[in-house]
Amino acid sequence: MSRVHNFSAGPAALPEAVLRQAQAELLEWNDQGASVMELSHRGQAFIDMAAEAERDLRELMAIPTEYAVAFLQGGATLIQALLPLNFAASGQAVDYVLTGHWGEKAIDQARPCADVSIAASAEGNGYTKIPARALWRLRDDAAYLHITSNETIHGVEFADTPEASRAPLIADMSSSILSRSLDVSRYGMIYAGAQKNIGPSGIAVAIIHPELLARAGQLRAPILSIGNHLKHDSMLNTPPTFAWYLAGLVFKHLKQLGGVAAIEAINRRKAQRLYAVIDGSNGFYRNRVDPACRSRMNVPFFLANDVLEADFLKHATANGLIGLKGHRVVGGIRASIYNAVTEASVEALAQFMIDFAQRKA
Ligand SMILES: *Cc1c(COP(=O)(O)O)cnc(C)c1O
């Protein structure tokens, strides 16, 4: 068996140790005589596992005790739709800072149920720079302020938590959660689909301050009420049990590596390595993002001679480097280097890029 170097944007690489453990436990999990997939979510074994996954996530992110943690289905996109329904009155003001494709999508999901205002937009600069905080136009009556912490497609990331407004800050961290240390107490809510930095697709995580949960929100079905999910320990209906279990294994794995601070140091080195290759290529490779807001998780770049792009991807695949094709909305190449992508994989890509440039320049 040979596993490739996987730079897929999502679903993305998982830690090999986690996959091996899941393989070893696939037929019989936890002395239950059955796979975790075959057991009731109402059984004690699953309930205990789910509670432990939550405890581990709380420990990894140092989540203050008053915050609620939910494990939800429907991905980050459903959560984007739930935000106005749960936290804003019908037609109430909500502010969004737009720094890339996923910010656009968050706005699309909120528009039917709230008065969306774009407090600041990077669209004019092609999503290459986060608008300065001093220029954000925030409304006093906004129910919340939404940002996308890391724009997975455009490769633009907030280096720090922005200064909050009067309204709670809600952050889509789908592609950056658990990749760097942060102060959860600065946020009203953090949410993330799992398939980039947590586990397989099918589950999403939400971390929510009680002030938001106390809001009446809008008329909605019980399944669309985040508070209702929390009241039922995220088991209002059948949860994606296998995805939850795998997320729990990833949390344990991260703890073994030394937690978020340890993985952050590795992530910083990985990103520096690739940007150094790009910046040192005499223009053969180009990344257009302002260095102050370059993503550590997704490194998009272009070849100065775009005719070579297909050749680059073909040879990369032949060399065991996969998932490098840029998203269709921007084109080019993108290396996603989430927590589970090792420094060895990044080094293999860096060497390939250097060799390719030498051969073709
Ligand atoms: C992938 C991604 C999404 C969409 O996630 P789904 O789970 O597919 O809904 C939203 N926001 C960001 C930042 C993403 O990277």
> Which residues of the chain have a pLDDT value below 50?
none
Which has the closest alpha carbon to 277: 210, 353, 204?
Answer: 353
Residue 278 C-alpha to ligand 1 middle, in angstroms?
Answer: 26
Ligand 1: residues whose CB is within 6 Å?
10, 75-77, 102, 148, 152, 172, 174-175, 193, 196
- Nearest Cα residue to atom 12 of ligand 1: 174
User: 268: which residues sit within 8 A by CB, 6+ positions away?
Assistant: 296
Amino acid 164: pLDDT = 78
In 3D space, the residue among 213, 215, 214, 195 whose CA is nearest the CA of residue 205 turns out to be: 195
Specify the residue with its C-alpha closest to ligand 1, atom 7. 75
Would you state the pLDDT for residue 80? 98
29 is catalytic: no
Mutate to test the pocket of ligand 1, among 73, 174, 295 (most ligand atoms within 8 A of CB): 174
**Angle, vertex CA 248, rays to CA 242 and CA 253, nearest 5:** 125
In this prediction the pTM is 0.98
Q: For residue 2, what pLDDT is reported?
A: 84
Report CA 205 to chain centroid distance, whole Å.
Answer: 10
Give the separation between CA 135 and CA 324, rounded to whole angstroms. Answer: 35
Looking at residue 42, its pLDDT comes to: 97
Known catalytic residue: 196?
A: yes
Q: Give residue 149's Cα distance to chain centre.
A: 8
Residue owning the nearest CA to atom 10 of ligand 1:
76
Q: What is the pLDDT of residue 191?
A: 98
Q: Which atom of ligand 1 is nearest to the CA of 204?
A: 7
| Cα(77) to centroid(ligand 1), Å | 6
Three-state secondary structure string covering the chain: CCCCEECCCCCCCCCHHHHHHHHHCCCCCCCCCCCHHHCCCCCHHHHHHHHHHHHHHHHHHCCCCCCEEEEECCHHHHHHHHHHHHHCCCCCEEEEEECCHHHHHHHHHHHHHCEEEEEEECHHHCCCCCCCHHHCCCCCCCCCEEEECEECCCCEECCCCCCCCCCCEEEECCCCCCCCCCCHHHCCEEEEECCCCCCCCCCEEEEECHHHHCCCCCCCCHHHCHHHHHHCCCCCCCCCHHHHHHHHHHHHHHHHHCHHHHHHHHHHHHHHHHHHHHHCCCCCEECCCCHHHECCCEEEEEECCHHHHHHHHHHHHHCCEECCECCCCCCCEEEECCCCCCHHHHHHHHHHHHHHHHHHC
Which residue has the least CA distance to atom 3 on ligand 1?
76
Catalytic residue among 29, 56, 95, 102: 102
Point out the catalytic residue in the list 95, 196, 244, 270.
196
Map out the domains of the chain with their CATH numbers: 17-257 (3.40.640.10), 259-360 (3.90.1150.10)
